[in-house]
């Protein structure tokens, strides 16, 4: 579907909002978290989870057209835990803090005053990420600090991007605590929300995250989130370059109950 046609579809949906409740309220008191990785220049070869600039902007524009309000992951997490309404809320999150986020996404989000969240891997700043062959480098500490100064929210993603259920308990706990402390220092506020690397987690890791000072744990299982969810099994949406515009629109309107449950995951479990 061309963006013109999508615009027409979105415009008709928007006009419906004036005669009924907002579209986003029609699918229950739930929110969406858009889990991006790197944003790359148009025409670049994209590997899995890389999204090019035009596609990124188009995806965000669709979310805006549907009437969603953007929140940081920190604010959305607080609302979920306090049982405040989250209908029509969306959070934009960038896993791994890759350099394209600094170069491309940050100026766009800043220009449109859209709140956003960055997930730096605290001992892997300014390096080529070993966990993602073919990826560009991660942001340096200075770039992360610049993002924080520009208003970016920080949430945790461990210190070395390990698969938490695949290492011994002491190592996993250490990653959780140290990344939380490092990001709290960088951002000047207590960081208490975590996205599990690779989405890997199980009952032991969820319990450990709680002990390490977190209040939420976000997975990499697609779906919506609401207040009744287990706060350590929250769902996000994995953003990709090859999602067509109509598919993305339908995804945003898909009811929460229709998404599959979060499973325990570790290396080799899929």
Query: 37 or 256: whose CB is closer to Zn ion?
Result: 37
Q: What share of the chain is helix, strand, coil (3-state, %, to 5)?
A: 40, 15, 40
The residue range among 166-174, 194-202, 217-225, 253-261 that interacts with Zn ion, by the rule CB under 5 A, is 194-202
Give the shortest CB-21-to-Zn ion separation in angstroms: 36
Query: 96 or 143: whose CB is closer to Zn ion?
Result: 96
Give the shortest CB-31-to-Zn ion separation in angstroms: 21
Structure tokens at 7: 């615009």
Give the shortest CB-197-to-Zn ion separation in angstroms: 5
Cβ neighbours of residue 174 closer than 8 Å, sequence gap 6 or more: 159
Please name the helix (run of DSSP H) or strand (run of DSSP E) that holds residue 222, with its range, or none: strand 216-222
Cβ neighbours of residue 43 closer than 8 Å, sequence gap 6 or more: 52
SS3 141: helix
Stretch 196-225: interaction string toward Zn ion, x if CB under 5 A: -x----------------------------
Give the shortest CB-183-to-Zn ion separation in angstroms: 14
> Whole-angstrom Cα distance, residue 85 to residue 149?
29
Query: 9 or 162: whose CB is closer to Zn ion?
Result: 162
Query: 68 or 220: whose CB is closer to Zn ion?
Result: 220
* Cβ 58 vs Cβ 115: under 8 Å: no
> Whole-angstrom Cα distance, residue 170 to residue 154?
24
Give the shortest CB-216-to-Zn ion separation in angstroms: 16
Query: 37 or 233: whose CB is closer to Zn ion?
Result: 37
Give the shortest CB-161-to-Zn ion separation in angstroms: 6
Q: Does 153 bind Zn ion (CB under 5 A)?
A: no
Query: 96 or 245: whose CB is closer to Zn ion?
Result: 96
- Other CB atoms within 10 Å distance of the CB of residue 35: 25
Site residues for Zn ion, window 50-109 (CB under 5 A)? 95-96
Question: Of all residues in this chain, which one has the CB nearest to Zn ion in the complex?
Answer: 95
Taking the C-alpha atoms of 136, 107, 198 and 139 in order, what is their torsion angle to the nearest 10 degrees? 50
> Whole-angstrom Cα distance, residue 53 to residue 243?
14
Query: 81 or 238: whose CB is closer to Zn ion?
Result: 238
* Cβ 101 vs Cβ 118: under 8 Å: yes
Site for Zn ion (CB under 5 A): how many residues? Answer: 3
Cα Dmax for the chain: 56
Residues binding Zn ion (CB under 5 A): 95-96, 197
């Amino acid at each position: 579907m061309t963006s013109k046609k999508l615009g027409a579809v979105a415009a008709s949906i928007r006009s419906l909002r004036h005669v009924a409740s907002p579209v986003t309220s029609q699918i229950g008191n739930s929110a969406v978290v858009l889990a991006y990785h790197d944003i790359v220049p148009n025409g670049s070869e994209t590997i899995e989870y890389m999204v090019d600039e035009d596609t990124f902007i188009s995806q965000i524009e669709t979310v805006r057209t549907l009437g969603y309000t953007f929140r940081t992951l920190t604010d959305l997490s607080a609302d979920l835990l306090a049982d405040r309404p989250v209908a029509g809320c969306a959070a934009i999150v960038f896993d791994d803090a890759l350099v394209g986020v600094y170069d491309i996404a940050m100026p766009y989000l800043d220009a449109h005053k859209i709140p956003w969240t960055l997930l730096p891997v605290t001992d892997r700043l300014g390096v080529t990420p070993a966990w993602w062959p073919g990826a560009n480098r991660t942001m340096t500490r200075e770039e992360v600090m610049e993002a924080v100064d520009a208003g970016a929210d920080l949430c945790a993603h461990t210190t070395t991007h390990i698969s938490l259920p695949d290492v011994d308990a002491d190592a996993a706990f250490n990653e959780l605590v140290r990344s939380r402390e490092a990001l709290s220092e960088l951002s000047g506020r207590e960081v208490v929300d975590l996205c599990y690397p690779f989405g890997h987690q199980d009952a032991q890791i969820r319990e450990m995250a709680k002990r390490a000072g977190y209040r939420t744990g976000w997975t990499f299982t697609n779906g919506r989130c609401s207040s009744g969810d287990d706060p350590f099994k929250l769902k996000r949406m994995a953003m990709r370059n090859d999602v067509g515009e109509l598919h993305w629109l339908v995804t945003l309107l898909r009811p929460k109950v229709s998404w599959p449950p979060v499973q325990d995951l570790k290396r080799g479990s899929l």
